[in-house]
Amino acid sequence: MSRVAAGDGPATTAGGVGTKTSSPLPRAFAVRADARVTAVADGRGGTAVPLVSGTGPLTPRLTRAAQDGASGEARVTLVGAMSAPLGGDQLTLDVRVEAGARLRMDTVAATLALPGRHGDAASYDIRLTVGEHAQLRWLPGPLISALRSHLHQTIHVDLAPTAHLELRDVSVLGRTGEEPGRLTTGLTVHRCGRPLLDQQLDTGPGAPGWDGGAVLGGHRAVGQLLVVDPDMSHEPAPQCLLGPDAVVTPLEGPGVLVTALGADALAVTPLLRWPPRPAD
């Protein structure tokens, strides 16, 4: 992790990637932080994680396997020792799931994008690579765009032909009772070296039409669940509505995209599941 001259925003009641604090100390510098995670098959039907590195706002930790995980799945959770991303921060996360391995990645809390002192944009670049007969479940907490913040988040995914992927992405525009910051999110997925999905969403002050009926229609939370499963090559998912604010879109390949809108993350997240089930 390195530091570059920049500013900080005001103290808030929420922390950054995977953390919560009551009143984080201000920092008069921007952060360049990198984290890497590599999972491999252990030869006994399980998964080993020989590389788990990162500091500051991107600190991955091996944690107990999730109850809903498949047999042999490892779990890594992102925690944070400081508020991030703030304006000017540059964060990079590289996750590799090698052939035959199974990995779940999550966070201990929401990610809160905060403003910097000088109005600079922050960037968060996530790169996910999944090998042959491997599985990745990318299930972080929501990303919250606070007032006056400016963040560019990109997720790049490379999948082998037999790879499995479950990827959830939830964005919340503004904390309770406040207007949102500027948030640009991009998701690019390649399978067998060819594009499967490439999209971008630009929201907040200065983004044309983001609050109109063609984009969010007045909602303040948007979520997506992307599932890629080679078995869908034989049984493609049907296009359908899951309710007034959620839709299932089959992809041109063995995948499906579930998109949902709502007032907040609590309204959106339960709609992001595949195959769809009746609401609890």
What is the predicted pLDDT for the residue at 258?
96
Distance from C-alpha of 203 to C-alpha of 186, rounded to nearest angstrom: 12
H/E element, 267: helix 265-268
Contact 12, 24 (CB under 8 A): yes
Instruction: For 173-202, write each residue's pLDDT tens digit.
Output: 999 989 999 999 999 999 999 999 999 999
Model pTM greater than 0.75? yes
User: 59-62 and 102-107: which strand pairing?
Assistant: unpaired
For residue 216, what are the contacts with CB-CB under 8 A and spacing of at least 6?
173, 203, 210, 222, 261
The pLDDT-based confidence of 172 (bands split at 50, 70, 90) is: very high
The mean predicted confidence, pLDDT, of the chain is 87
Please give the average per-residue pLDDT across 111-116, as a whole number.
Answer: 93
For 137-150, how does the pLDDT look when each residue is reduced to its tens digit (9 = 90+)? 999 999 999 999 99
The model's confidence at residue 11, banded by pLDDT at 50, 70 and 90, is: very low
| The pLDDT value given to residue 66 | 82
Q: What residues contact 209, with CB distance under 8 A and at least 6 apart?
A: 215
Q: What is the pLDDT of residues 212-270, one digit of tens each?
A: 888 898 899 999 999 999 999 877 778 888 888 999 999 988 999 999 999 999 999 99
Q: 187-224 burial by CB neighbour count: b if 16+ within 10 A, else e?
A: bebebeeeebbeeebbbbeeeeebeeeebbeebbbbbb
Which residues share a beta bridge with 262? Answer: 221
